[in-house]
Amino acid sequence: MIQLGVNIDHVASVRNARYRGPEVAQGEPDPVRAAHEAELGGADGITVHLREDRRHITDRDLELLSRLARIKLNLEMAATDEMVGIARRLTPHTAMLVPEGRNEVTTEGGLDVQAGAARLSPIVAALKDAGLIVSAFIDADKAQVEACVALGIDVCEVHTGPYAAAFASAGGDFRRKALATELDKVRAAGEHIRAAGLRFNAGHALNYHNVAPVAALMGVSELHIGHAIISRAVFTGLREAVREMKHLMLAAGRR
């Protein structure tokens, strides 16, 4: 059954718009409380990205989540010595390697595992040595899947940003070739991932309008969704926003 990982980074973004430094610990909304609300809404996992500049999630948030979360904790992280040390110490359920740019608003593309294999190899080994499941956020590209297999990565999360952009441009009309093509790329990548014995996850820019076709893909294990759910929660509350997304995903999976 398909699972939902809720990214709560932007709960911290709202908090950090008002609170800085030592005040963050007492600031609201608290991402740790958000994780509990997401769990009550039916989330199967919590995703956070501890960035180098700590622009949203902070070390305090991650420390508390690692102790208090009652569902899977997925740590998105750059492939740096600092982040490897944090992951090995706190042991989230999954360490997900992502590209990171200081000036980007959000992650802009998949990690180039193929080009960075020599640099990534000891990082993957160190994470696996700590007992972590290692995931990589990659573009829908067979060569990237094969590079993940060679490194011993356990999970490939396929970047759905291009699909989401095509969906918006086409108004969700799959008679538009560009949209059908982007979904086919995600599907094909998923087939390569599963054939190699890895877990097939997907995420990025998925929302309540475009999620169903991705959730319906054969063998997709998890979708990681953040901004759309946190945005909906402003109007409905986080439990209900998570519940609605999970309902859409499960209904699509059954179809």
Active site residues: 49, 76, 204
- What is the dihedral sign for C-alpha 199, 205, 208, 214? negative
Yes or no: say if 222 and 211 are a contact pair by the CB < 8 Å rule. Answer: no
Q: Which of 58, 122, 113, 121 is nearest to 86 (CA)?
A: 58
Q: Which of 55, 45, 61, 53 is nearest to 7 (CA)?
A: 45
Q: How many CB atoms lie within 10 A of CB 66?
A: 18
For 75-82, the CB contacts below 8 A with 24+ separation are 75/47, 75/48, 75/49, 75/50, 76/7, 76/47, 76/48, 76/49, 76/50, 76/137, 77/49, 77/50, 78/51, 78/52, 79/111, 79/116, 79/119, 79/120, 79/123, 80/52, 82/52
Residue recorded with tokens 């095509």:
166
CA distance 248 to 210: 10
Running DSSP on this structure, what letter comes out for residue 157? Answer: E
